[in-house]
Amino acid sequence: MKPLAEALSHGLWLADGAIGTWFLSQGVEPHQLPLLPLDHPDLVIRCHLEYLQAGAQIIETHSFSANRSKLAAMGWDGSVGELNRRAAQLARHARDIFGEPAYVLGSLGPLAVPVDSPIVPGLDRAEAETVYREAVAGLLAGGVDGFLVETMSDLATVEAAVSAIRAESDLPIVVSFAFSPLGTTLYGITPEAAVEAVMTLPGGPPAAIGANCGSGPSPLLDAVIRMAEKARTYQLPVVAYPNAGEPALRDGHVHYPASPDYMATIAPALKAAGCAVIGGCCGTTPSHIRAIRQNMQGDLHPQLTARPGWSLTEDVVPKSPDPEWSRPPRLVHELLAQQFVLSVELDPPRGPNLTRLVDAARQLEEEQVDVINVADSPMARVRLGALATARLIQERTRLATILHFTTRDRNLMGLQSDLLGAFALGLTNILCLTGDPPGLGDYAHATAVYDLDSIGLTKVLAGFNQGLDALGQPLGSPTVFSIGVGVNPTADPLEKEIERFRQKVAAGAHYAMSQPIYAPEQFYRFLDALGGPLPIPLILGIMPLVSYRQALYLHNEVPGITIPPEVLSRFESVQDGVHVGIELALELIQALRAGIHGIYLVPSFNRVEPLVPLIREIRRLTR
């Protein structure tokens, strides 16, 4: 999946349609709309899913009005950052469920009043930027791929929003204006003037400019044609999100006249004008987006062309798999005896479609990663089964996997059955984990099983390797599992963690994989407490940080992760957090290289691309 800024410069992409219109069609009252990510998250996910299923390759968060200026008018005084974070998370969750690659844009709409300017008095510019920064911070924490500053009428508001984004992030920005049938915005800006204005925005021009909302497809097309002619001189991509016509009240409901078929006939003209993205605004629905996709299928960028559905299909699981898929994968403990091992974790999607995940696995294969860790519903959130995911990754790539296997969800009988099934499917590398309690995740009232803990699971696997089940009864033939266990070098109390680590080794563990650490001192403290050399090979966990807020979140809210103050301070006033995170990871690897046997990378938000420079540098250092 290309970075968003690069994607906008190559090919035609299909965006989603109106979010508010969809919610109103589901019986939501207008005053309820801004707070839906907190009050009705399932409904938000359904909305995003319907647009993805219709063919949208770019979706925007439900955060258009999620700024303190507008929310204060409703009398709401909750956390704007949390509201925006949840909106971004829900969009990403919908994408995970759908399983196809798609971009998530954080939506920033106008404030309740315009920003003060020589023409229009209003909100103080510095205050406006502060209001936007609060929303931007939440969207970043939720993991957006870029920002859509939309439905803009005045340049001062655009400047405040863009400044707020660039103070927090270097992600791509799309700026979209709303034009009337007269060919100007509410405050008299023409399409040509809008292009000229964004070229001088703080920090430089945006990744794209465009038009949305307005009075319908035809007036918007006129504005886009004028805008595109000027934008071509600057090689600036153009986006278009037309309304479904002028709204009218019919039987007490707002009705938009432009049908899906009519909207589809406008799409080729938008493409001919030079649009890089076509979506829909007020009044458009998944049916409109589906009609555009069907009419423009041959023109859309093929990388993200959506399938009609999102369940596993024949083109996800091939009829004739690679004949080498069933070859015995390299056992991790044997690999550790021969070389420095590099592993990367991938979380299964929230739905049954594995396309995006397999694409990421193939990219890791190209970067010569040795093995992929497949997490088992981490943080107790429901995802596609790790066993099925690992099997399909091994089928679609030449990489071995390490299957995370928790005792949280299976009783002793089901646990052994699944392990035997894993072995029959060629999944011979198992990481034994107790698993996060359900209270951390989506189903807080779900019942955990925990017939065994990770030590007991290690004993079961060791018994399987001797041809015996948990009761000591023969299996008929022994298995050949490579048994991994987890260890947390930053645990408190550390003495208890070390005692459990020794028990895991005694139970038959072949190697250990650590929770992410962020400073050499954390590892040295663990070794000192251990009081001797590592009894089994250790693969060190590293989760490169991407921002100060992410670091604070991990430190304060994710069990097992401790980030030292000196590391947090490296991020406090830094915009390019990704670069700093990679620097810190490399420093850590260079300091500890002699005492470890491999690296276990955990990508933020399941994004592989930012890890590529780090993977290449690790390969250079460890060859």
Query: What are the respective helix, strand and coil percentages of the chain, to the nearest 5?
Result: 45, 15, 40
Q: Is the dihedral of CA 320, 323, 327, 332 positive or negative?
A: negative
SS (H, E, C) 500-565: HHHHHHHHCCCEEEEEECCCHHHHHHHHHHHCCCCCCCEEEEECCCCCHHHHHHHHHHCCCCCCCH
Report how far residue 309's alpha carbon sits from residue 304's, in angstroms, rounded to the nearest whole number: 14
Residues 71/117, Cβ–Cβ less than 8 Å = no
Report how far residue 508's alpha carbon sits from residue 461's, in angstroms, rounded to the nearest whole number: 8
Cα dihedral 13, 18, 23, 25 in deg (nearest 10): -110
Residue 275 in marked binding region: no
Any idea which residue has 């909305």 for tokens?
Answer: 47
Residue 281 in marked binding region: yes
Element (H, E) at 150: strand 146-152
Residue 47 in marked binding region: no
Query: Across the chain, which distance is largest between two alpha carbons, in Å?
Result: 85
Q: Which residues pair with 249 in a beta bridge?
A: 254
**Rg for the chain, CA atoms, rounded:** 26
Task: Return phi, psi of residue 250, to 5°.
Answer: -135, 120
Residues 249/201, Cβ–Cβ less than 8 Å = no
Q: Which residue, among 527, 408, 421, has the nearest Cα to 456 in the 3D structure?
A: 408
Tokens matching residue 41: 């998250």
- The binding site consists of 213, 281-282
- The binding site for Zn(2+) consists of 213, 281-282
